[in-house]
Amino acid sequence: VIDNVTARDTVTIGDVSYKLRTPRNPELVPRNYISDSLAQSVIQHLRWIMQKDILGQDVFLIGPPGPLRRSIAMQYLELTKREVEYIALSRDTTETDLKQRREIRAGTAYYIDQCAVRAATEGRILILEGLEKAERNVLPVLNNLLENREMQLEDGRFLMAAERYDKLLKEHDKAELDAWRIVRVSENFRVIALGLPIPRYLGNPLDPPLRSRFQARDVYYLPFKDHLSLLYLMGPSVSTERISQLLSFATTLCTQESSALGLPDFPLDSLSSAVLILNSFPMMSIQHIIEWLYPYNVLLGKEGKTAVVDALKVSLVHTSPNSYSAMGKRLELVPAGTRPFDLHSGTDGFIKTFSHEQLLAEMMQSHMVKDICLIGEKGCGKTVVAKEFAAMLGYNIEPLMLYQDMTARDLLQQRYTLPNGDTSWRPSPLITAALEGKLVILDGIHRVNPGTLAVLQRLIHDRDITLYDGTRLLREDRYQKLKEDLQLSDEQLQQRSIFPIHPSFRIIALAEPPVVGSTTQQWLGPELLTLFLFHHMKPLSKSEEIKVIKEMVPNVPSTAVEQLLKLTHKLRDTNDPTAQSLASSLSTRQLLRICRRLSHYPDESLYNAVNKACLSRFLPNLAKSALHKNLLDSGIETSLTDAQQLEGKDYSCEVNSGILRIGSVTIPISNPYEKMKVPDVLFYENTQHMMVMEDMLKDFLLGEHLLLVGNQGVGKNKVVDKFLQLLNRPREYFQLHRDTTVQSLTLQPSVKDGLIIYEDSPLVKAVKKGHVLVIDEAPTNVTCILKTLVESGEMILSDGRRLVANSGCVNGRENVIVIHPDFRMIVLANRPGFPFLGNDFFGTLGDIFSCHAVDNPKPKSELAMLRQYGPEVPEPVLQKLVAAFGELRSLADQGIINYPYSTREVVNIVKHLQKFPTEGLANVVRNVFDFDSYNNEMREILIRTLHKHGIPIGAKPTNVQLAKE
């Protein structure tokens, strides 16, 4: 029993008593963590921590993922009225986050104490959460502080244990010790570390010297009996039998046998959320709610699923069918956003289908109690559903695009420099959304490193978070209690950097399904399972998809839609992995694009549209023939007349009274203000490139952003520059590379008068002025950021400004830039290898852009083009080159040689021959082939091929003797 009634200044647990002290900063003491009915097991943990505290020892609470260990630590602090310093460790945590950080104020650098130093000097308790996330060399900085209560600081001060300091104080006065820069560590300073057992879970194992300084306590899940009585309290109107069935099933999945099967732990802490939902919807089946807590159908392979289903059969003797009839009546209970709700919102671009309605109803049930994660294949409409959900419940949305090398700082707070050179912190969109009560859409949670996401656990579990600059955000009820207890106003709390999290704040995470059975680490692990309730967005059924397409694109030819969907569902439903990989190129998003295009250009061939969407030109032979076979089976074929029409078609371009015509498509030419940004390029026309440009123009007129894919040197840049030159459109050019960061995508720093000022990047300039942004060599992690821009027409720049597509969103908000209606993006990417190795731009983001394959010109076009580069080079020489390179390219397509020889290489040879006609052909082609002179196998193939076409190359050192004789 906990007893603190008799003596106001003592708290007693069983036979252990602790003498309370009045806290100096009462606002740092946790509140509202202790409930009226503490489980017996929790009281035992608290008693143990109190014993260690009295002994002056630091403790390590170890146990499975979930909020239990943290809440026990906070309950202890609340009970003993201790001030807290909390830090969630992540792979981005550095020594400066723990000890001291340099800040610049009025041109001078100061050291500002961080959590460990503040806790030591002020006598607080330091909670370190997630030790297994920190990189190897970070935590040893604490070893001496833990062992001897000593630490050397960067600013020259030295922290010293209380006893030693007091001893010195008897011999010297305080002024002397201050002059020696010695600081006393309070005797009340303690550390409570929270971590997962490694191995069993993933992370860095504890360093032995660090481990030896802690007293450990295994905080396993609550014992069955304790947990059961807790759940009974939470669900008074749920039958006790159903609650015990639910708990016994969950406990089964956390046993040794289950983990031996490779099943991730069941998130036992989420059971309380499930019981709260059952309490409001008594008719709901338990099996159904278990899938939200533990999405085993998405998460596990065949054996795992069977194991879960068997466990369900044992635990749930009989389950009632699910019922949605109760949904409408109970909706008034659902917490909602800051705007009025509109349950029949029907936002633009949202077509209601049965499965969507059901999904939205389920999301509303979940959202009553917890944040949501929506799992579905790319392009299946997760964003659209999340937006519809927000519109129905009156939420303002904050889209947040996640990417692979995102850091904890990108998620919470970023450093920046004020105009006077001072350093400061800017809250991330996620934090401002928490303060304003928005719905945050975390798009792509499967891409982020799990060690980075760790910093959000406390925000999601407890709705509390401590930021890098010391600001604390508290759950609304804790904030109110603090206000009452301390009799402080909001202004006074803000001066102490304490703010309430808005009660409407919610998170919806969007993710692609984990790849079952893959060797890489799954994103959906035991820790992430504790954060959300999961909803699986299954692909639309054929009839639903037809409905969506016909309502979104009313005038698309019906037969084309039928054929297209027959093909898509054939590819989706097969077990053949090759066909499935093709299906991912035909997402709902991509099908809508194909249909929009067909509705404007009804005489276009569906066969070509599908091949373009799958970039079939770059598929390996096996996949290519699978696609061809499935196309034929679905009645989509290419007819000879198509090919003949293309042959006979006029692919010239001309400008007539301000109208440009490419092939059969016309567009008025723009009259730009910045003429110097319109490209001016030497371009020799050839039919093939003109065909690509006509195709690009159609998409351009439909408002699409383009992705040009091809091997190096096939003329992607030339095609784009010529295209923009013809349209008379200014371009902003952006060469990306491995080290391009999201910051540099939006801002470019330069120094003026000793101050760092940020100038708009090409991206921002293009958006403001309606120019065309050409992005070269796009690395996927950076271009993920462009997804929100292309898809939802909104994006946040790294300086806090926001781009929006809809000028209606501005209404007086500052820092908003409206996206110019003429803004377009053209992205250039090298061809995907199969299965998309290296820079998988197409695999990740291909279906957001309209894709065009750019290829080497056909022999006839190539010959005509080379004549223009080398008018005086003999015709037979040009023919030899075209034939030889044509054969080398087909060898590269078959995978016999690795390097795809391009037009760029032939053009360079011809330019050389034009300028220096006396030099032999064999000598000039070496400029290209000397790269391969050290690879014998490759060299043999080249020599054979070139000899076959009459190009005499390949005098080896062994032949030199012959030459002399």
Residue 200 within any structural domain of the chain = yes
Same domain, 62 and 39: yes
Q: Identify which has the larger pLDDT, 584 or 268.
A: 268
- The answer for residues whose C-beta is within 8 angstroms of residue 964's C-beta and 6 or more apart is none
Same domain, 592 and 444: no
For 460-472, what is the mean pLDDT? 94
**pLDDT higher than 80, residue 260:** no
**Main-chain phi, psi angles of 245, to 5 degrees:** -60, -45
Residue 110 within any structural domain of the chain = yes
- Environment class of 244 (CB within 10 Å of its CB; exposed 0-12, middle 13-18, buried 19+): middle
Residue 868 within any structural domain of the chain = yes
Report the C-alpha gap between 76 and 30 in whole angstroms.
9
State percent of the chain over pLDDT 90: 39
In this prediction, residue 191 carries a pLDDT of: 96
In this prediction, residue 124 carries a pLDDT of: 96
State percent of the chain over pLDDT 70: 89
Looking at 176, 202, 218, the residue that finishes a domain is 218
Q: Identify which has the larger pLDDT, 812 or 531.
A: 531
In this prediction, residue 835 carries a pLDDT of: 38
In this prediction, residue 325 carries a pLDDT of: 40
**pLDDT higher than 70, residue 782:** no
For 850-856, what is the mean pLDDT? 87
Same domain, 597 and 667: no
Amino acid (one-letter) located at 31: R
In this prediction, residue 492 carries a pLDDT of: 94
Host H or E run for residue 924: helix 921-929
- Environment class of 426 (CB within 10 Å of its CB; exposed 0-12, middle 13-18, buried 19+): middle
**Main-chain phi, psi angles of 799, to 5 degrees:** -100, 15
pLDDT band at 959 (very low <50, low <70, confident <90, very high): very low
Same domain, 843 and 864: no
Looking at 634, 669, 685, the residue that finishes a domain is 634
Residue 606 within any structural domain of the chain = yes
Report the C-alpha gap between 205 and 486 in whole angstroms.
42
In this prediction, residue 330 carries a pLDDT of: 46
Residue 546 within any structural domain of the chain = no
Of 706, 692, 717, which Cα lies nearest the Cα of 777? 717
Report the C-alpha gap between 845 and 12 in whole angstroms.
60
The most confident of the ranges 135-139, 576-580, 808-812 is 135-139
Same domain, 841 and 922: no
Same domain, 394 and 488: yes
Residue 344 within any structural domain of the chain = no
In this prediction, residue 931 carries a pLDDT of: 87
In this prediction, residue 833 carries a pLDDT of: 59
Handedness of CA 364, 365, 368, 374 (dihedral sign): negative
Same domain, 152 and 33: yes
- Bond preceding residue 835 cis, omega within 30 of 0: yes
In this prediction, residue 2 carries a pLDDT of: 66
Residue 584 within any structural domain of the chain = yes
Q: Identify which has the larger pLDDT, 322 or 571.
A: 571
**pLDDT higher than 80, residue 326:** no
Same domain, 905 and 925: yes
| Longest CA pairwise span in the chain (Å) | 115
Lowest model confidence (mean pLDDT) among 57-66, 458-467, 501-510, 581-590:
581-590
Same domain, 504 and 378: yes
In this prediction, residue 89 carries a pLDDT of: 93
Q: Which residues pair with 875 in a beta bridge?
A: none
**Main-chain phi, psi angles of 570, to 5 degrees:** -65, -45
DSSP labels, 637-688: ---HHHHHHHHHS---EEEETTEEEETTEEEEPP--S-GGGS--------HH
- Environment class of 956 (CB within 10 Å of its CB; exposed 0-12, middle 13-18, buried 19+): exposed
Report the C-alpha gap between 206 and 133 in whole angstroms.
10
Of 686, 683, 670, 745, which Cα lies nearest the Cα of 720? 683
Same domain, 426 and 375: yes
**pLDDT higher than 50, residue 502:** yes
Looking at 540, 572, 599, the residue that finishes a domain is 540
- Bond preceding residue 199 cis, omega within 30 of 0: yes
CA terminus-to-terminus distance, the chain: 107
Report the C-alpha gap between 392 and 367 in whole angstroms.
13
Q: Identify which has the larger pLDDT, 130 or 638.
A: 130
In this prediction, residue 961 carries a pLDDT of: 37
For 427-455, what is the mean pLDDT? 91
pLDDT band at 730 (very low <50, low <70, confident <90, very high): very high
Same domain, 228 and 161: no
Looking at residue 121, which CATH number applies to its domain? 3.40.50.300
Q: Identify which has the larger pLDDT, 899 or 292.
A: 292
**pLDDT higher than 90, residue 932:** no
For 738-758, what is the mean pLDDT? 72
pLDDT band at 799 (very low <50, low <70, confident <90, very high): confident
In this prediction, residue 318 carries a pLDDT of: 52
Same domain, 148 and 113: yes
Parallel/antiparallel/unpaired status of strands 816-818 and 465-466: unpaired
Report the C-alpha gap between 281 and 361 in whole angstroms.
12
- How much is the mean pLDDT over the chain? 85
For the chain, how many structural domains are there in total? 6
DSSP labels, 594-623: HHHHHHHSTTS-HHHHHHHHTTGGGS-HHH
Determine what percent of the chain falls in helix, strand and coil, rounding each to the nearest 5: 45, 15, 40
**pLDDT higher than 60, residue 324:** no
Residue 792 within any structural domain of the chain = yes
pLDDT tens-place string over residues 333-348: 556 666 766 665 555 6
In this prediction, residue 958 carries a pLDDT of: 45
Range of the structural domain that residue 189 is part of: 10-218
In this prediction, residue 798 carries a pLDDT of: 72
**Main-chain phi, psi angles of 624, to 5 degrees:** -65, -45
In this prediction, residue 845 carries a pLDDT of: 67
In this prediction, residue 642 carries a pLDDT of: 57
Q: Tell me, what DSSP letter sits at residue 832?
A: P
For 866-885, what is the mean pLDDT? 92
pLDDT band at 733 (very low <50, low <70, confident <90, very high): confident
pLDDT band at 421 (very low <50, low <70, confident <90, very high): confident
For 886-893, what is the mean pLDDT? 87
Report the C-alpha gap between 2 and 12 in whole angstroms.
6
For 938-949, what is the mean pLDDT? 89
Report the C-alpha gap between 120 and 122 in whole angstroms.
6
pLDDT band at 710 (very low <50, low <70, confident <90, very high): confident
pLDDT tens-place string over residues 372-390: 999 998 888 898 899 999 9
Report the C-alpha gap between 908 and 866 in whole angstroms.
10
Parallel/antiparallel/unpaired status of strands 372-375 and 659-662: unpaired
